[in-house]
Amino acid sequence: MLFKVGAQRVSRPAISALAQFLTQFAEDTAARSIQIARHSGRKTVLEEDVRLAVK
């Protein structure tokens, strides 16, 4: 991902740090999406739940 946006060189610790951050962000977003769906009385998480969770 870093190379895709223009980085020419990236250290292993930088790759690891980005991966950890993205994993945590995804887990937090998933948990929030589930809360939104349940609050709406649904068991199914919809795209709109995910979009709301990111905001």
> In angstroms, what CA-CA distances link 39 with 6, 10, 24, 29?
41, 42, 23, 15
The structure's pTM equals 0.83
Q: What angle do CA 48, 53, 54 make, to 5 degrees?
A: 100
Domains and CATH numbers, the chain: 12-54 (1.10.20.10)
pLDDT tens column, 1-55 = 899 999 999 999 999 999 999 999 999 999 999 999 999 999 999 999 999 999 9
